[in-house]
Structure 1
Amino acid sequence: MQVTCTKFEAACRQLNEAISLFFADHDPLAVRTLAAAAHGLLADLVEHDQPDGSWRSHLVESSGLSKKEALAAINSVQNFLKHADRDPNAHLNFDEEENDHIIFIATLECGELGGPLTTAMQAFQIWYLASYPDRIGVETELVVKSRSAFTGIDKLTREKRLASGLNFLTSAIVKYGDGFIRKKKPQKKGD
């Protein structure tokens, strides 16, 4: 079957898969590969319309590093995972919680493009705000609402926080669908 999609659709599909793998506690390298690819596409699309308007650009500006140094830091793990020409014997060491932040920023980039955010993206944002309340403020309305969906999440192990997110995502998809707009397949004669 031929796959046809826009860059935006590709990024959304990659991000949704990253979120599914993330909550199912699958390999953090696979999660990072998908999440970073989606984030890169979405940030590039934002910057195409609004130069330096992406969340990635804001991170670079606020890092205190040169643009080249900041992008090297942001992209170091995904570059390790997709290139071996200069460093075939290199080893990777990263904190898998970095994936949490990459996915969240990718969902923000998607929102900058006018979305719509899929159910998985929205569920992830709620989980993230409940898990990291200090990122935008413990008392902000979004964090308070998110924490009500995940009571006591700050006291759970990472494994249990992910399981809680998976349960939340599964329930949301059952209730609201996955949020993707799909083209109907043409029906065959006689169907």
Structure 2
Amino acid sequence: MPITKLEAAQRQLDCAIRLYINSEDLLAVHTLSRAAFRVLYDIYPTHRGDGFSTNLAAFIEATGWKRFNEAANFLKHADKDPAAQTDVQETDTQMGIGFGIVLYRRLTQSSSPEMMAFDTWMKALHPEKFMIPPDPDPDIEQLSREGIVILKASPREAQLLLAKSLLTFFREHPYPSTPSA
């Protein structure tokens, strides 16, 4: 079955997101999402000459390429450090998924239902990290802020239930630019 690198990266990223929202093994999620990210990162400059990958590299450099790649390299290689240990951080895994989604969207101008669900869920949990402007209606903005507080205070299972519901919703109501998976 022939497959392009872009299709392979999408399938890896989608699988990583499904595993993540189903509370599956974080190491598998990390490995799949980082493999997808790397493929997308490598092909981006060959498809788009807008300099975004350079900007992304600068951002990751500022936050630390070493840290960004540490767990991924740990999970791939053992030739230099067969007895090493690491602590895979969930936030690093989330960041890798997020960067993969951004690259995929910029390359294809589309998102899979998994990508839409994960992105929406992360923005609901962490609106402060996404610079979402406040709603012009103060009552709606207040309701939104209260909902975010409740969501953040909810148990992990409840938070993931929202992610699963979003995935179901986006599968049943795909946007025209969303490829069917």
TM-score (norm 1): 0.77
Q: How many percent identity over aligned positions?
A: 29
Query: Where do 5+ consecutive residues of structure 1 fail to align?
Result: 64-69, 183-191
Match of 2:103? 109
Is the contact between residue 27 and residue 88 of structure 2 (CA under 8 Å) also seen in structure 1?
no
Is the contact between residue 36 and residue 102 of structure 1 (CA under 8 Å) also seen in structure 2?
yes
Provide the alpha-carbon RMSD of the alignment.
2.5
Letter in structure 1 aligned against 2:27? L
Letter in structure 1 aligned against 2:22? A
* Counterparts of 2:9 and 2:120, CA distance in 1: 20
Is the contact between residue 11 and residue 42 of structure 1 (CA under 8 Å) also seen in structure 2?
yes
Aligned residues: 168
- Structure 1 stretch displaced more, 160-169 or 30-39: 160-169
Letter in structure 2 aligned against 1:57? A
Q: Out of 118, 137, 142, which is 2:131 matched to?
A: 137
Runs of 4+ in structure 1 displaced over 4 angstroms? none
Match of 1:50? 49
Which structure features the higher share of helix residues? 2
Match of 1:162? 160
Q: Out of 31, 34, 51, which is 2:32 matched to?
A: 34
In the TM superposition, what whole-angstrom CA distance separates every residue of 1:95-124 from its partner, at most 9, and x where no partner exists? Answer: 223222211111111112133211111111
Q: Out of 73, 81, 91, which is 1:79 matched to?
A: 73
Task: State the 1:136 CA deviation.
Answer: 2.1
Is the contact between residue 68 and residue 92 of structure 2 (CA under 8 Å) also seen in structure 1?
no
TM-score (norm 2): 0.81
Match of 1:14? 12
Is the contact between residue 15 and residue 34 of structure 1 (CA under 8 Å) also seen in structure 2?
yes
Higher relative contact order (CA 8 A, sep 6+): 2
Task: State the 1:35 CA deviation.
Answer: 0.5
* Counterparts of 2:73 and 2:94, CA distance in 1: 18
Is the contact between residue 19 and residue 120 of structure 1 (CA under 8 Å) also seen in structure 2?
yes
- Evaluate the alpha carbon distance shift between residue 61 and residue 95 of structure 1 in structure 2; reply closer, same or farther with a 3 A threshold: closer
